Amino acid sequence: MDYKKVKTNTSAESLDVDKFEVDTNNIYESIAILAKRANQIGLDLKEELNEKVSEFQVNGDTLEEVFENREQIEVARFYEKLPKPTLLAIHEFLENQIYYRNPLKESTKDNF
């Protein structure tokens, strides 16, 4: 998923708790789902940022390094302006864009 194109708030806002337990009927399960998805998104963004920053790495000190540092700073600022992984996970959860399953619930259904 391209997180740069997601239109969501970049700052936290108050949300109705009832929205989070509609699908799971358990607020704690919903929070666990959100936490796992936020970790996935955070790792994806970190890998992407590291790839872009590694393009600018040079093995020697040169005058061009000042220019490259500016480019690195621009890339870093762009990623800083993106919504935080938790906010992206909440957006995906509320839009029903997250696939999740609970193996414990599935195994209890199969036993009956």
Would residue 100 count as lying in a domain?
yes
Task: Provide the domain limits for residue 49.
Answer: 17-111
Q: What is the mean pLDDT of residues 4-12?
A: 72
Higher-confidence residue of 73 and 109: namely: 73
Q: What is the mean pLDDT of residues 17-37?
A: 89
- Do 20 and 93 contact (CB within 8 A), yes or no? yes
Q: What is the mean pLDDT of residues 80-107?
A: 85
Residue 65 pLDDT: 56
How far is Cα 52 from Cα 30, in angstroms, rounded to an integer?
Answer: 33
Would residue 50 count as lying in a domain?
yes
Higher-confidence residue of 85 and 59: namely: 85
Would residue 10 count as lying in a domain?
no
Would residue 42 count as lying in a domain?
yes
Going from the C-alpha of 78 to that of each of 3, 6, 15, 74, 75, the distances in angstroms are 12, 14, 27, 6, 5
Would residue 51 count as lying in a domain?
yes
Helices (H) and strands (E) in the chain, counts: 4, 0
Which tokens belong to 74?
A: 């621009």
Would residue 3 count as lying in a domain?
no
Count: domains in the chain? 1
Which of 35-49, 60-74, 92-106 is the most confident on average? Answer: 35-49
Would residue 86 count as lying in a domain?
yes
Would residue 49 count as lying in a domain?
yes
